Amino acid sequence: MQRTLAARLLLLAASLISTATAVQQPFDATPRITFTSAAESHGVADFTGQQVVRFTTASHAQHQALLQRAHALGLDVWAAHRGSACSTSPDAHVYGCVDVRLASEDGAERDWMAQLMQPFPQHKRPHAQTMIEDVQQLVAAQRSEVDEEEEEEVEAMREDKWHRDYHTFDEITAYMRMLEHSYPTHAQLVQLGTTHEGRPILGLKISDDLPVPTPDPQPEPQPDPPANTTASARGKLGIVVTGGQHAREWVSTSSALYFASDLLAAALGVPSNSSSPVEVARRGKKRARKVWSKKQARLMLSSFSITVVPVSNPDGYVYSWDKNRMWRKNRQPNHFPSGLFCKGVDVNRNYDYGFASSSNACSEMYSGSAPFTSAEARAIATYVEDARNGVVGFFDLHSYGQLMMYPFSADCALQPADEEDLLEASLGAIKAVKAVDGKAFTAGKICEVYAVAGGNAVDWAYAASKDTQGQQKAKVKWSFSIELRDGGTYGFLLPKKQIVPAASETSAALAYILSFIQKKSF
């Protein structure tokens, strides 16, 4: 009887999901939709033959219609940019561009295209350009070893050897602990919270004159690391840099960690221990382009208490390594029935500003049933709002698009009171980025150059009046979202040889804005 009841419940759930996501289709169309969020197989997801296509749109109405159609079909929208952020498009007059991953099982690609274009008359269809021919080829390339034949070409980057590869969550945690051990008065590991699957959400706090923890001689279990230290209480400005809120955006995690390592090394030099990975990472005949001078780096450490959270979504990040490279959300279970087969909440849609709940738990952008239902968003928000951390700046790293953005995301009718300062800092940052390797970034409000979306971390940090406990919250004036490399050629699957250049650009942008804030504040 119990098995029969369970079977009926499963059939009912499947029926409800089918009804909720059904779309009218032509009689002869046989699309086979594969929801990334619904893929819970025991094997590793394979993307062989799947393409990423860029559609350039000519108007707001066409842009929105395309997005709505893609979401209705359950397709994976990689990016939706607007205006000058789509300047590489072949079209002369472009409103925006939307990158969509088309699942192409057994030659069904033409069906996907036909279904996606169905609402548009033949003469008014968005221009389509294939950006990635085979997603699986790029996934495999990210897993491969660094090509030894390229060693001579990257000799100048030998000092960044460790950073020239993507790393697992455990490797990143070990590296953060190594930095803490190597710079005991300038780097401390802090734990912001714990994920649904029990992983720690770790940050590396860097500043000068941090208190050195006294080891306990008793081998007894210790409590979790504190969420705060006293650095900000001594008059320093708090800065938070997050990466990896979206699990598949690996280069944001790599860039956040590179920034912390680069700043410490510039201010203090490499550790004296020759066996340290930092020591090994910084050997070489030539030095890469320097972002920091020693004087500037030390000024930053004396002015700020900077907390870098490279893996803001540990469960999702691990899953993107072990099971599904295209995983975006966290890994918490959702409520019956729509969430029975579809796990996860989009962490960067789960903050309590402009939040809009959604019913489709299978969506890549599922915001959750209520604000702060994700442990990750709640942990980051709690840390940012804690007055003891003195946070005045919040930088949320993502990929891709090469965008330097500030509020608002939820509503373009809203104007940030500090827009003059935010825009000036953004323009200076993209100029600093271009000086690194010639890459052009676009600056502007999130809703103008990227997309309109509620529940965004940057909007919450800047404008939310209440904290996670419903108490008065201070505004974080210097709130930015940075979309890193590239422009769409590789998307989320940026080759390893571009990690250090992308991370150097990130450090250059942060260095400029931190100097800008320092001059405005002291």
pLDDT tens string 384-407: 999 999 999 999 999 999 999 999
On the question of pLDDT at 128 being above 90, the answer is yes
Which positions ≥6 away from 295 have C-beta within 8 Å? none
Q: Global pTM?
A: 0.86
Q: Which residue has the higher pLDDT, 218 or 10?
A: 218
Q: Using the predicted structure, report yes or no on whether residue 212 has a pLDDT greater than 90.
A: no
Residue 105 has pLDDT above 70, yes or no: no
DSSP 158-181: GGGGGGGS---HHHHHHHHHHHHH
369 burial type by CB count under 10 A (0-12 exposed, 13-18 middle, 19+ buried): middle
How far apart are alpha carbons 10 and 7 in whole angstroms? 5
Q: Which of 249, 364, 376, 483 is catalytic?
A: 483
Helices (H), 32-132: 60-72, 109-117
How would residue 218 be classed by pLDDT, with cut points 50, 70 and 90?
Answer: low
Give mean pLDDT, residues 292-316: 97
pLDDT of residue 19: 39
Model pLDDT for residues 51-90, shown as the tens digit of each residue = 999 999 999 999 999 999 998 888 999 999 998 888 654 5
pLDDT at 226: 46
Terminal Cα-to-Cα distance of the chain (whole angstroms): 72
Render pLDDT for 448-478 as a digit per residue (tens, 0 to 9): 999 899 999 999 999 999 899 999 999 999 9
Residue 285, pLDDT score: 38
| Rounded Cα distance, 482 and 403, in Å | 6
Q: Closest Cα to residue 195, out of 370, 333, 397? A: 333
CA 316 – CA 197 distance, rounded (Å)? 10
Please give the Cα distance from 520 to 504 (Å, whole number).
Answer: 24
The predicted pLDDT at position 88 comes to 56
pLDDT exceeds 70 at position 336: no
Strand 304-309 to strand 237-242: parallel, antiparallel, or no bridges (unpaired)? parallel
pLDDT confidence bin for 93, thresholds 50/70/90: confident
Q: What would the pLDDT profile of 134-165 be if each residue is shown by its tens digit? A: 999 999 999 886 554 444 444 433 456 899 99
Give yes or no: 483 in active site: yes
DSSP alpha helix (H) spans, 269-352: 277-281, 294-303, 314-322
Domains observed in the chain: 50-143 (3.30.70), 153-212+234-270+289-521 (3.40.630.10)
Kindly state the average pLDDT of the residues 282-294: 63
* Model confidence pLDDT, tens digit, residues 164-185: 999 999 999 999 999 999 999 9
pLDDT above 50: residue 229: no
Peptide linkage before 400 cis (omega within 30 of 0):
yes
Q: Which pLDDT belongs to residue 10? A: 45
Q: How far, in Å, CA of 447 to CA of 246, rounded?
A: 19
